[in-house]
Structure 1
Amino acid sequence: MEKDDQFLGKHNAPNKILENEGSQLFGHPKGLMTLFFTEMWERFSYYGMRALLILFMTAPIATGGLGFNDQTSGAIYGLYSMAVYLLALPGGWIADRIIGLKKSVWYGGIIITLGHFTMALPGLLALITGDHGAKGALTGVDLYSFFMGLILIVIGTGLLKPNISSIVGQLYPENSSKRDAGFSIFYMGINVGAFIAPIACSTLAIYDWHLGFGLAGFGMLMGLIQYKLTGKYLSGVGNPIVPTNKKEKGERNNLVKGVWVAMLLIAIVLALFFLEILSIDPVAIAAVSNTVIAIVALMFFLYVLFLGGLNRDEKKKVLVVMILFVFSSIFWSGFEQAGSSLNLFAERFTDRVILGWEVPAGYFQSINSIFIILFAPFFGAMWVALAKRNLEPSSPLKFAFGLVLLGIGFLVMYFAAKIAASGDMAAPSWLVITYLFHTFGELSLSPVGLSLTTKLAPKKFVGQMMGMWFLSIAMGSLIAGRIAGGASGGTEEALAQMPSQYMLIVYTAVGAGIVLMLVAKPIRRLMGNVH
């Protein structure tokens, strides 16, 4: 479900809490439980809202939706998913240099809560005023609360997401044998929240979309309350760096001013948009954003390779990161369709009636988390067992397996789409099997990505290389949204083309996996002593 959250924080500044009997619970620092439940509720809010997002955008206005077409909805979904990962970079920077990790989590959670409640605003207003009449028109409140809510959630997630994982890393001494177990426990909290949320929020959304959004906000609010009540267990970690001299204080003040200027510019752009002085075309922005990300990534890698002052061995390793960036983007461009095109397939073309009750489409968004919880221990044990026999695949081969498994999942969807194109409803098992293969792909590729990036990155570029890994996920998420606009079968023409769209994804994913298998040995040589 998550992209390497269990690895974040392992390469951060030295921790200040030592493992001692008085601060432990079941052998781990009590602060781990604080972070476990904070992250669980944050992921509840995120995945609860995500399960509804594209369904709400494409739902007819008469049923309380926004009535957007598939292309616009896919572009907005892709831009939103992209922004969540992009803002993790400045979010981590602000925490490291200005307010500290703990405050970033706190303020980020507040902003996320406000975002969800803003999205729920039209429903809350209807509840307060008692106006539950026919929903035949789209009002300014509907649109403004929707877009403003998304923006707030993106900003809040950027502050909270990278920094809460970093605090987990600081709870343990540098070489503690319990650190990996601590991250595994933390990771389980992520998937528990992501499992429960789509079911809970989709159930309320049956009655009103905004109730579902409101429940997502309530979840984050619960996380904030327990974070505040149990915050004493985080004493000594996640604090801001205190300037020790006049020069450092001046630099910090300049950074604070820069952040305020950036926030002011963002507020001006938003005001122009909401006042309809500035018009924004999500489809065009998504297309331009893809190009911009690709150019930025290329320019960064070329700069590091030719002007970064690296030796020959370091350049080889950076070249590997550059290659994996491309394959990572391809993987996430398919995997991230879970919340977009596959979510729409569940709603439009899947027989969801059980014993006379129609299962909400959003329930399917919980399947990945179930499989992660079930199979993550198995994959971990499998790699260990293979390593003992000197049979563990190299990291590039694991990447390749992830891509092939992703492709097999979409091959299943090809046959499901053929059923839909013929006019019949597909059985739920088609989606379940697809998510099973996608989960296997995630477990093969995702744990390798950030860990390998940190190992390959030159010391002076570790943070920036970690940022590039998340940039690859951002690019893949954006592409996924754009693909969803044409692969969701929203029109008769799109429905007829849907099987071929899925087969194109199969060719791309499996083809990329085969190419990576063929070049795995040369890549392995470039990696040097890194495994």
Structure 2
Amino acid sequence: MASSLTKGAAQQEKTSPVSGGKTFLGHPRGLAPLFMTEMWERFSYYGMRALLVVYLIAGGPDAKPDSQGGGLAMPEASSVAIYSVYVAMVYLLAMPGGWFGDRVWGPRKTVAIAAGVIMAGHLTLAVPGKPTFFAGLALVAIGSGLLKANISTMVGHLYDGPQDPRRDGGFTIFYIGVNTGAFAAPLVIGTVGQKVNWHLGFAIAAVGMGLGLLFFLWGTRHLSPQSSVVPKPLTAAERKSTLMKVALWLAVAVAFYGIVGGTGHFTQKWATIPLALVGLIVPITVLTRIKRDKDLTANEQTKVSGYIWFFVAAAVFWMIFDQAGSTMSTFAEKKTTDNVFGIGFPSTWFQSVNPLWVMAIAPIFASMWLMLARRDREPSTTVKFSMAMVIIGASFFVFAIPMAMASDGTKVTPAWLLMIYGIQTMGELCLSPVGLSLTTKMAPQKYASQMMGVWFLAVTAGDCTMSLLTEAGVDLNGSAVILGQAAAATLAGFAVWMSRKRIEGLMGDVR
């Protein structure tokens, strides 16, 4: 899942790790509170995400007939658009989140504040009402963006630079925390929210983040002193300029929406469409700015050109992959049987399948790449990306089968979704960790820290594209649309494979 870093924010300078005394699984003790913080943050995030679409449609025309009411009774198309924009904003805000850690508060303070904002967001979601729901959603997105890049940076601070032999193992343990939280959340929060009370489910998400914050505060004494340092503090002039720009844009937004609302024209689309457009414009602008930077060497310019190929491919991949919580979630809710061997379960449980597949398959993939590398037969990064595209396309070719079977009202077996999630996980493991590693290798020196945020913008671009398609009236539940997405991803995969020599030429010494 596109949830966290596995290799650190960038090729960091050599740090002063916390050493001596007790360890955590052979690693610095500071890894333990960071592991627990990330696990509980992912628990709160994925628990709420599992509820999001089914809560939005609950009580409305597109809800399951015998499902719990009390939701916002929205049409499915509107719910998918909101979901897609929300996920996109989480990853878009990772860039300013990293900026706050680098320029304003330092990673440690930023993470503490972020956890508090996330908890406040879930508590706001626990209060019934449409205004509180959207306010809570905004707070969770802002907090997640602040936390995402900074907590991974702090993991890197625990080790003696990029060459520390324990470093990759530490990030692997950290990633286990990500998937543990993501696996448990739908089983707990999803069950309570979907079967007992939606807002109680959101409240449990707040409790989870609260526990994560407590673990973080308790373990700060074990963290590297560098995590409290602001690497490049804003000067007084920069601070004043930044505040003026923020105030200006905020005033423009308030004035614009004040006019729209005051004249009675405001609808949901006035919120989702501008945000989705921002989510597409920002990645294009950022990549263009980096590509045109005259400070970059010719070699760095060439690598950025090669990186754009991977970025576009990743955006297409995440556009399909992230429908696990929207299109596939509503399919699980309304068109998939909710019992196995007579044992019933809520549809939100399907959101636990991907992290379960990750934990089961990831060690196999890691061993397979290592074995192939020893034989000098490991696929190149370009080939792995093309494999990921073909695999994610194949998952939607398969998805079209149960969708056609359920078109007459028949409910299909859960085995279909289990298989589709399994296929998608194989694609994820070919693209996500490879893309993270590739980003650190191809990043121009000037943008070493920022490029990880650029990688997350691929998720933003993919989800914003999906939101705009939904708002344009595209029926994502139609077999033709599903097959169209499958064909587009597969063709993109073949295009990357056919262009692999050209792309690898642009990559220089990176493989």
TM-score between both structures, scaled by the size of structure 1? 0.88
One-letter amino acid of the counterpart of residue 7, structure 1: K
Using the alignment, how far apart are the partners of 2:316 and 2:506 within structure 1?
A: 22
**Residues 457 and 347 of structure 1: CA distance in aligned 2, closer, same or farther (over 3 Å):** same
Separation in 2 of the partners of 1:323 and 1:290? 22
Measured in 2, the distance between the counterparts of 1:269 and 1:29 equals 50
**CA pair 423-486 structure 1, distance change in 2 beyond 3 A:** farther
Secondary structure of 1:12's match? coil
Identity of aligned residues (%): 37
| Equivalent residue runs for 1:196-235 within 5 Å | 196-205=184-193, 206-235=195-224
Partner of 1:371: 357
Query: Which amino acid letter does the alignment assign opposite residue 55 of structure 1?
Result: V
CA RMSD of aligned residues (A): 2.8
User: Which stretch has the larger CA shift, 41-50 or 204-213?
Assistant: 204-213
1:333 to 299, 319, 331: 319
Alignment of 1:446 onto 2:424: no
Compared CA separation, residues 44 and 309, structure 1 to 2 (3 A): same
Q: Which residue of 2 aligns with 1:15?
A: 15
| Cα distance per residue 1:103-156 (max 9 Å; x no partner) | 11111000100100100112xxxxxxxxxxxxxxxxxxx111100000110111
Q: 1:129: which partner in 2?
A: none
- Is 1:513 the counterpart of 2:493 in the alignment? yes
Q: Distance in 2 between matches of 1:455 and 1:97?
A: 24
Alignment of 1:243-392 (within 5 A): 250-251=236-237, 253-254=239-240, 257=243, 261=247, 265=251, 268=254, 272=258, 280-283=266-269, 285-392=271-378
Tell me if structure 2 keeps the 8 A contact 1:44–1:197. yes
Residues 316 and 434 of structure 1: CA distance in aligned 2, closer, same or farther (over 3 Å) = same
Residue 226 of structure 1: how far off its partner (Å): 1.6
Instruction: Determine the structure 2 residue equivalent to 1:187.
Output: 175
Which residue identity lines up with residue 448 of structure 2 in the other structure? Answer: V
Distance 1:47 1:298, change over 3 A: closer
Amino acid in structure 2 at the alignment position of 1:86:
L
Asked whether the equivalents of residues 157 and 224 of structure 2 are also in contact (C-alpha less than 8 Å), the reply is no
Q: What corresponds to 1:134 in structure 2?
A: none
- How far apart are residue 364 of structure 1 and its match? 0.1
Residue 166 of structure 2 corresponds to which residue in structure 1?
A: 178
Residue in structure 2 matched with residue 88 of structure 1 by the alignment: 94
Give aligned pairs, total. Answer: 502
Deviation at 1:85, TM superposition (A): 0.7
Segments of structure 1 that go 5 or more residues without pairing to the other structure are 123-141
Task: State the SS of the aligned residue for 1:463.
Answer: coil
Matched, 1:404 2:380: no
Structure 2: any 5+ residue segments left out of the alignment? 61-67
Of residues 441, 445, 452, the one that matches 1:455 is 441
Amino acid corresponding to residue 402 of structure 2 in structure 1: A
- Distance in 1 (CA, whole Å) between partners of 2:379 and 2:240 is 48
User: Which of 128, 131, 139 is the equivalent residue of 1:144?
Assistant: 131
CA spacing shift, 1:255–1:196, aligned 2, 3 Å: farther
Q: Is the 8 A contact 1:318 1:456 kept in 2?
A: yes
Deviation at 1:204, TM superposition (A): 0.6
Residue identity matched to 1:9: A
Shift of 1:268: 4.9
Any residues of structure 2 matched to 1:27-106 within 5 Å, and which?
Answer: 27-60=26-59, 63-106=69-112
> How many angstroms apart in 1 are the aligned matches of 2:171 and 2:252?
35
TM-score, L = length of structure 2:
0.91
Displacement of 1:225 after TM fit?
1.4
In structure 2, give the amino acid aligned to 1:228: L
State the Cα distance separating 1:251 from its structure 2 match: 4.3
In the alignment, which residue of structure 1 is the partner of 2:505?
525
Deviation at 1:77? 0.9
